[in-house]
Structure 1
Amino acid sequence: MAKIRSMEEFAAASGISRPTLSKYFSDPSSVRKSTRQRIETALVEHEYRPNIFAISQNRKRPMNVGILIPHLTDPYFAELVRHIEARCASMGFWAIILSSHGDPDLEERALRTLLSLKLAGAIVAPLGTRSNCDTFKALCKELPIVFLDSRIDLEVPFVGTDNRASIELLVEYLVRTGEPPCFLDMPHVNQNALERRQAFEEAARKAKFEPHVIPARTLDWNFEQIGFDVVTAYLRGSGLPSRTLLCANDRLAFGALAAAYKSGLKVGREDNADLRIAGHDDHPLSRFACPSLTTIAQDYEGLASSAFDILVGRLDGEENMPTSELLSSRLVMRDSA
């Protein structure tokens, strides 16, 4: 039997009209049960697998959703994508996932790829300070988009975590249970970095202690290496400004934990510990750090669901959709602080 390569060939071989097949592949429940059974039997008999992507591209309303994130290999973003994919599948959408790999040139190329596809919309976590706003503007003119986790200065719906509230929650806990923290700043690659530093400074003033900030003078996304190098340099020099270190994200904290270990310091909540370290995000690997990392847990499922729901609401023309949604977070107390 010759291999069937197109819908037209399948229609001719099965004796089922092309419009009926299109109707079935758009929505199997839209054809009569007897017709559906006949089509499914023919699919097995002729070993035909239709190009679902091409079918979606030909629809008046495509069922493809673009997703662009900074790093596919970062478990934080992988977890967000996992939840978005699940929502897409539950609603009959196909997720097309791209990564900018922390590179603004690759981000621009990915945006142009999204522009070249026929998409229903896109959920995008922009790099931030190094993003090309003009290319983002072009994308916004072509299709509905929602910013997730980070944003740039465009009138686009945004879903993220309330950094001010989360940092204040963590600072209050660290002050209540020990020495007030100093703050390991993350590279100012996006709005989250700026918001978390400002939130720390505000929380320190509120708690009436000096807000010592350890800067990260780079725009690199290699946070673990940055955390390790910066903390190692301080430990070999005059030491950290405090015996409690609050890191702007968990990946920085992983590097700080490694630096402390290599310097022979004990990290933990015990009275005989040399240093307490806390992070932010509840990165999927945080509970497996040694010691396990005290952190702020972002609502991964809530972030993904809210971004998807806002996007679908825009596609359906719903009015009064939120333009910004900041989700709350929770403190996770583990062994490191």
Structure 2
Amino acid sequence: MATMDDVARRAGVSVSTVSHVLNGTRKVNESTRERVETAITEIGYRRNVVARSLAAGRTHTVGLSISAFTNPYFGSLVHTIEAMLSDAGLVMFLGDSHDDVASERRVVDSLLDRQVDGIIVAPAAGAERNTIPAITATGTPLVLIDRALDVACDQVGPENEESARHLTEHLLELGHRRIAVVRGIDGISSSVERYAGYERALRDRGLEIDPDLVLDGASSVDVAEREVLAVMSRSPRPTAIVTMNNSMTIGSLKALRGLGLSIPGDVALVCYDDFEWSDLFEPRLTASAQDVVTLGSTAVDMLLERIGGYTGEPRRIHVPTTFHHRNSCGCTPA
């Protein structure tokens, strides 16, 4: 590998002159600069940024562990986080946890081995017993995003319970009583909180929870499709469905289409999570939309503060959702 000494010899200058050209620490006359830059190109010299960063105690990198490819929402979140980190002069390393704690641990260990300056994690079920202690033991700044855990670190996530309650309440106000819910991965706070909102809406109306209408969609397109196919093939079938994330909405739509059922004619549908294209096809999906930009930017801001030396108490922030009233619920919004 070429060194600064090699560049200096090729250009016929001192090593300090090469350093000044590379780092802009002193004015160098134009002809000398051109000789140095030509020499750099000819011998393929690259600065060892990693070594310099480690010597300074910073790598200017941040790790993100997230289930990046199973849900459109997470894809948007990754884009937001990467853009903000880039604006701050940091490079993001992305690892897909696949919502599995063993995979998540491998991702986190790899990030820690690279001595990233901080880590953002959308924790898998069980992360509080496995992944999180591995991070906190190193003192690496940490922010949890999307899912909450009972651990002492900064956390930011969407408002879940009240949003899911509002979606279910909307269906109740339209006269529905047999409302199926497609809930997410067991043991993840967002799944627990959203289901609690559905449950609270029914109990507030004096309605009992029908276990036959509680579908475990596992935050998966295929699982949700299978569950909705089964419940809509039985009698009496639900008159409405509330889905608790984008992937399960897609699976539910596939199931209803496969059965030849119309929305909202045969069954009303409302969704937690919104799609970029929700307003572009029929039926237009009634949904609670997460504020992805605020979620991502808040997580990055908190992490940068910790990297910069902030030592205050752990913060927990809930970002409100926005109710988009369209027509898959069976009514025409004003």
Q: TM-score range by the shorter chain?
A: 0.7 to 0.9
Matched, 1:46 2:44: no
Stretches of structure 1 that go unaligned for 5 or more consecutive residues are none
- For 2:201 and 2:19, the matched residues in 1 are separated by 61
TM-score using structure 2 length: 0.83
Q: Aligned to 1:127, which of 103, 106, 124?
A: 124
| 1:235, distance to aligned residue in structure 2 (A) | 1.7
Q: Match of 1:253, as an amino acid?
A: T
Between 171-180 and 149-158, report the one with greater CA deviation.
171-180
User: Aligned to 1:279, what secondary structure does the other structure show?
Assistant: strand
Select the residue among 265, 268, 281 that pairs with 1:276: 268
1:95 maps to what in 2? Answer: 92
Match of 1:104 among 88, 93, 101: 101
Change (3 A) 1:177 1:316: same
User: Following superposition of structure 1 onto structure 2, how do residues 179-218 of structure 1 map, counting pairs within 5 Å?
Assistant: 179-180=176-177, 181-212=179-210, 214-217=213-216
Residues 1:174 and 2:171 are matched in the alignment: yes
Q: 1:157-206 deviations in whole A, cap 9, x for unaligned?
A: 11001112211232233333442533222231511111111121112223
Asked if the contact 1:170–1:295 (Cα under 8 Å) also holds between the matched residues in 2, the reply is yes
Partner of 2:82: 85
Contact 1:228 1:256 in 2 (8 A): yes
AA of the residue aligned to 2:195: R
Q: Which shifted more, 201-210 or 7-16?
A: 7-16
Computing the radius of gyration from Cα coordinates, the structure with the larger value is 2
Amino acid at match of 2:182: L
Q: CA RMSD in A?
A: 3.1
**Partner of residue 249 from structure 1, selected from 245, 249, 252:** 245
- Whether the aligned pair in 1 keeps the contact of 2:163 and 2:288 (CA below 8 Å) is yes
Question: Contact conserved, 2:180 with 2:215, CA < 8 A, in 1?
Answer: no
Q: TM-score, normalised by structure 1?
A: 0.83
Equivalent residue letter for 2:98:
H
CA deviation string 1:60-84 (max 9, x = no partner): 2221101110233532211111111
Secondary structure of the 1:68 match is strand
- Name the SS for the 2:317 alignment partner: strand
Tell me by how many angstroms 1:317 deviates: 2.2
1:231 aligns to 2:211 (yes or no): no
Which residue in 2 is equivalent to 1:261? 257
Cα offset, 1:256, TM superposition: 1.3
Aligned position for 2:332:
none
Flag structure 2 segments of 5+ consecutive residues without an equivalent.
330-334
Superposed displacement of residue 122, structure 1:
0.5
* Corresponding residue for residue 57 of structure 2: 60
Aligned mates of 2:91, 2:29 — CA distance in 1: 25
Identity percentage of aligned residues: 27
Partners of 1:87 and 1:36 in 2: how far apart? 36
SS of residue matched to 2:323: strand
Query: Partner letter of residue 249 of structure 1?
Result: N
Question: Which residue type is aligned with residue 193 of structure 1?
Answer: S
